[in-house]
Amino acid sequence: MYKDGFTYEGGRVLQCDAFSETGLVKHGFSTKKKGTSTGIFSSLNLGVHTKDCRENVEQNFSLFCEALSIDSSHLVLSQQVHGTAIYRAGLKDCGKGLYRESDLQEIDGLVTNEPGVALATFYADCTPILFLDPVQKVIASVHSGWRGTVQKIAQWAVMTMMREYGCNSEQILVAMGPSIKQCHFEVDEDVYLEFLLHFHGMAEKSTIKKNGKYYIDTDALNIYSLLQMGISQEHIHTCNLCTYCNEELFFSHRRDGETGRMCAVIELQ
Ligand SMILES: [Zn+2]
């Protein structure tokens, strides 16, 4: 069993202990294990827009949701574009993107205070970030690739929770799931400059330079962004599993090229 503030028992999902302990939400980060897809999508591919057979993807959603006791008809999917738009989802959005047409375009973060709405975001190296305010009972799910990290989408999510739902950032719990870590997040100078521009001194501190390449610790930068919003350090839980390193557990776009997608989901009970 994997333990680092996160529990993994070998199946389809990994969960953050701090979130589980509240008893307020169903949540999880998917692995690629124990699904029905084959070939490059083997096996728990949850990417609706991949070239995988639709029937297998829907079957995989059923298996993933079953592991979390979530009703798959509660899922809300949006089209992600590495932007910073946060959408306030509700019961009216359930099923969008999976069982019916979705009008949720160019949205990388979902937030709600309605029980029974399962907020889903998708990854194959980018950082999935889940939020829970256990006092106001508000949740969010955010897709933070390097562009989202640079544009501080995590801060946009916190700001939405505070402004629209009256959350106090000191109460908010954060779970950052598996993603490509510093060991494999190699970038050229142009991308490094983007980080320098947006994070000033922090980018240098979070980067290792080797053979003309830059290896950036995006978790450290997302944590920095969250601390700036008044989130408590002890409320931020980071899974240190690298999607690239752990081939048996995760899809990795950087490692595999065309591949499947993992999902992070959260629903208020
Ligand atoms: Zn790695």
Segments making up each domain of the chain, as ranges:
2-181+241-268
Residue 12 alpha carbon to ligand 1 centre in Å: 20
pLDDT surpasses 90 at 200:
no
Cβ(116)–Cβ(75) below 8 Å: no
pTM of the model: 0.98
Longest dimension (CA), the chain: 51
- The pLDDT score that the predictor gives to residue 3 is 75
Residue 227 alpha carbon to ligand 1 centre in Å: 25
Residue 174 alpha carbon to ligand 1 centre in Å: 22
75: three-class secondary structure by DSSP: strand
Residue 94 alpha carbon to ligand 1 centre in Å: 35
- The pLDDT score that the predictor gives to residue 4 is 82
Closest by Cα among 56, 97, 78, 33 to 251 = 33
Residue 127 alpha carbon to ligand 1 centre in Å: 13
Closest by Cα among 8, 155, 23, 109 to 67 = 8
Sign of the alpha-carbon dihedral angle for 105, 143, 139, 265: positive
Residue 103 alpha carbon to ligand 1 centre in Å: 35
> Which positions ≥6 away from 121 have C-beta within 8 Å?
78, 80, 108, 109, 110, 128, 141, 142, 143, 263, 264, 265
Residue 2 alpha carbon to ligand 1 centre in Å: 17
- The pLDDT score that the predictor gives to residue 77 is 97
For the segment 1-7, the average pLDDT, to the nearest whole number, is 84
> Which positions ≥6 away from 169 have C-beta within 8 Å?
158, 161, 162, 229, 230, 231
- The pLDDT score that the predictor gives to residue 53 is 96
Residue 264 alpha carbon to ligand 1 centre in Å: 20
Residue 246 alpha carbon to ligand 1 centre in Å: 8
The DSSP secondary structure of 27-40, one letter per residue, reads: EEEE-S-S-S--GG
For the segment 58-69, the average pLDDT, to the nearest whole number, is 98
13 bridge partner residues = 30
Residue 207 alpha carbon to ligand 1 centre in Å: 14
pLDDT surpasses 80 at 203:
yes
Residue 14 alpha carbon to ligand 1 centre in Å: 18
- The pLDDT score that the predictor gives to residue 138 is 98
245 bridge partner residues = none
pLDDT surpasses 80 at 2:
no
Residue 107 alpha carbon to ligand 1 centre in Å: 28
Residue 203 alpha carbon to ligand 1 centre in Å: 19
Residue 108 alpha carbon to ligand 1 centre in Å: 24
| 242-257 residue pLDDT tens | 999 999 999 999 999 9
| 137-177 residue pLDDT tens | 999 999 999 999 999 999 999 999 999 999 999 999 999 99
Residue 156 alpha carbon to ligand 1 centre in Å: 27
Rounded to whole angstroms, the Cα distance separating 126 from 218 reads 9
Residue 59 alpha carbon to ligand 1 centre in Å: 29
| 46-56 residue pLDDT tens | 999 999 999 99
Residue 136 alpha carbon to ligand 1 centre in Å: 36
pLDDT above 70 coverage of the chain, percent: 100
CATH number for the segment(s) 2-181+241-268: 3.60.140.10
